[in-house]
């Protein structure tokens, strides 16, 4: 029987400062994060103590530990929010990492909360700049000038699942899923003849398996940094997906993976079709808008991305039917929507407009092209492409379409607004976020798997949180209600 899964998504946002004075992206990103965290009484720093991003799942070794990094030395803004999320600067981008979630619907809610946080932070940062300045934030993955930035999914899976099995059974899935995960973009890094393609990320991938995330990007990333008990868990760090605005796309991106990981853990999948050249196939899938491009198989045959997705859906359906553990309502909805998206795509993938980003954007761009007689190389058209991703609700074209009822919504605005301040109740994120909200001045730092608390005594105290399912509202809500400060909390935890 499969174990509970946990998921979080970290998104690097595109950033530009428009105004009388130039501001480089690193400084602009630091201003955005700094402006938002200034809204709190005291800053809660990030705890880098146990981070090991160079640990490789293929060899299982951990690099020699050095002095832990601290944000002051890095010169970058980095903080933890009351909703359990991390908000920080990564390279030249503001990045929002959602709190841990147990299901796809919650992930949609807290991912959408990140968009509100970025929009608010940009407005705060602009207020400190010269008159006429604007801080523009886009939830996308490329600047259209050869640079890419990431959206990374993170799934916690049992360490008993061999990494080789994950690689073998997931690679064809990753190659074929842009049908519903792609955010769409004009142009290509590889082929000047491509006018529009499904994904913003595919062209930037060069190898099948590897540890890197910014160079020689791999379809299957091998970073082995669980942020939990390393004896029990591994974190599957997925870097090949796009940043999505359409809620159906995010829901399916995460929901299909959670179901598939259950099936892989139970070793319930039949032999997966093996692609002859997965990286080339990934590019080909992105460059084809029909989902019917023939992808060479290792055994000499071919298969289309639509057929590959149908293979995975059928395999997961059989697994769900045969297992003793029934699906919850969210899992059932994932299966229903997965089937519906494939059925629509079999008729015409462009009919997915309003549900998935690439088709929604393509419909928008095709209408603009027709009205103005533009070629795909037009700078005006590229500006429309970018404007789709603007996080401002009154300016972003996605948000304007949603306001007109042209985008299918899965979650309500009120619950997204609430998620800006409050964490999920059924993971350790609730304990993290609530401690910061209640005892902010006594929380020195926080990480995914620990809190550093100051009880006002001789030394700081570290509270480990190695189990993602411990620290929920049900488990510790009454305890937190009964204590007045960190000293009282620590006493109760030791009792």
300: left (phi over 0), alpha (psi -120 to 50) or beta: left
Shortest CA distance to 202 belongs to which of 247, 148, 256?
148
From CA 61, how far away is CA 40, in angstroms rounded?
39
- What fold characterizes domain 6-418? Creatine Kinase; Chain A, domain 2 (3.30.590)
| pLDDT value of position 292 | 97
Q: 442 with 434: CB under 8 angstroms?
A: no
| pLDDT value of position 189 | 85
Q: What angle do CA 5, 462, 435 make, to 5 degrees?
A: 65
3-class DSSP assignment, residue 458: coil
Reading the chain (495 residues) residue by residue, the pLDDT tens digits are: 789 999 999 999 999 999 888 899 999 999 999 998 755 556 788 887 766 666 777 775 544 444 344 444 344 688 999 999 999 999 899 999 999 999 999 999 999 999 999 999 999 999 999 999 999 999 999 988 888 999 999 999 999 999 999 999 999 999 999 999 999 999 998 888 899 999 999 999 999 999 888 888 999 999 999 999 999 999 999 999 999 999 999 999 999 999 999 999 999 999 999 999 999 999 999 999 999 999 999 999 999 999 999 999 999 999 999 998 899 999 999 999 999 999 999 999 999 999 999 999 999 999 999 999 999 999 999 999 999 999 999 999 999 999 999 999 999 999 999 999 999 999 999 999 999 999 999 999 999 999 999 999 889 999 999 999 999 999 999 999 999 999 999 999 997
3-class DSSP assignment, residue 143: coil
- In a 13 Å sphere around the CA of 390, the CA atoms on its Cβ side amount to 20
Q: Is 90 a catalytic residue?
A: yes
pTM of the model: 0.95
| pLDDT value of position 75 | 45
Task: Provide CB contacts within 8 A for 426, sequence distance 6+.
Answer: 102, 469, 472, 473, 474
| pLDDT value of position 213 | 81
What does the pLDDT look like over 53-75, one tens digit per residue?
A: 667 777 755 444 443 444 443 44
Task: Provide CB contacts within 8 A for 410, sequence distance 6+.
Answer: 105, 108, 247, 248, 251
Give the total residue count for the chain.
495
| pLDDT value of position 72 | 42
Shortest CA distance to 106 belongs to which of 225, 247, 265, 259?
247
Active-site residue (options: 42, 72, 90, 481):
90
Q: Cβ-count burial of 41 within 10 angstroms (0-12 exposed, 13-18 middle, 19+ buried)?
A: exposed
Q: Cβ-count burial of 65 within 10 angstroms (0-12 exposed, 13-18 middle, 19+ buried)?
A: exposed
Q: 242 with 201: CB under 8 angstroms?
A: yes
From CA 138, how far away is CA 337, in angstroms rounded?
27
| pLDDT value of position 51 | 67
Domain residues of the chain, as ranges? 6-418, 425-494
What does the pLDDT look like over 13-31, one tens digit per residue?
A: 999 999 888 899 999 999 9
């Amino acid at each position: 029987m499969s174990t509970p899964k946990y998921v979080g998504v970290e998104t690097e946002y595109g950033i530009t400062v428009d105004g009388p004075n130039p501001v480089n992206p690193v400084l602009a990103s630091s201003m955005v994060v700094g402006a938002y965290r200034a809204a709190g009484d005291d800053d809660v720093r990030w705890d880098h103590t146990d981070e090991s991003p160079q640990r490789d799942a293929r060899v299982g070794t951990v690099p020699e530990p050095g002095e832990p990094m601290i944000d002051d030395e890095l010169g970058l803004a980095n903080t933890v929010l009351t909703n359990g999320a991390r908000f920080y600067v990564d390279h030249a981008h503001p990045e929002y990492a959602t709190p841990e979630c147990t299901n796809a619907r919650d992930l949609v809610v807290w991912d959408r909360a990140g968009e509100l946080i970025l929009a608010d932070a940009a407005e705060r940062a602009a207020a400190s700049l010269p008159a006429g300045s604007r801080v523009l934030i886009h939830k996308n993955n490329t600047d259209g000038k050869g640079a890419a930035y990431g959206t990374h999914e993170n799934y916690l899976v049992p360490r008993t699942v061999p990494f080789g099995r994950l690689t073998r059974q997931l690679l064809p899935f990753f190659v074929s899923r842009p049908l519903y995960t792609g955010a769409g973009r004009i142009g290509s890094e590889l082929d000047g003849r491509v006018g529009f393609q499904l994904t913003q990320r595919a062209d930037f991938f060069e190898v099948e398996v590897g540890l890197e995330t910014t160079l020689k990007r791999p379809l299957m990333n091998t970073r082995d940094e669980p942020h939990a008990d390393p004896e029990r868990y591994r974190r599957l760090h997925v870097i090949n997906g796009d940043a999505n605005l359409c809620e159906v796309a995010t829901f399916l991106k995460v929901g299909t993976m959670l179901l598939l990981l259950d099936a892989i853990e139970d070793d319930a999948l039949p032999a997966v079709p093996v692609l002859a050249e997965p990286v080339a196939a990934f590019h080909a899938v992105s460059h084809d808008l029909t989902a019917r491009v023939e992808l060479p198989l290792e055994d000499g045959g071919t298969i289309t991305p639509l057929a590959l997705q149908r293979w995975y859906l059928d395999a997961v359906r059989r697994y769900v039917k045969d297992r003793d553990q029934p699906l919850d309502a969210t899992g059932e909805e994932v299966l229903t929507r997965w089937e519906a998206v494939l059925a629509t795509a079999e008729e015409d993938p462009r009919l997915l407009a309003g549900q998935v980003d690439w088709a929604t954007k393509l419909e928008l761009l095709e209408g603009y092209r027709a009205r103005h007689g533009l070629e795909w190389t037009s700078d005006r058209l590229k500006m429309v492409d970018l404007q789709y991703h603007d996080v401002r609700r009154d300016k972003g074209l996605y948000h304007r379409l949603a306001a007109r009822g042209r985008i299918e919504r899965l979650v309500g605005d009120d619950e997204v607004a609430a998620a800006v301040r409050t964490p999920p109740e059924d993971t350790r994120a609730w304990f993290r976020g609530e401690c910061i909200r209640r005892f902010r001045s006594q929380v020195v730092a926080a990480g995914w798997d620990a809190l550093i608390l100051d009880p006002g005594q001789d030394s700081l105290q570290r509270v480990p949180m190695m189990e993602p399912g411990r620290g929920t509202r049900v488990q510790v809500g009454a305890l937190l209600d009964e204590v007045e400060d960190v000293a009282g909390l620590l006493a109760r935890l030791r009792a």
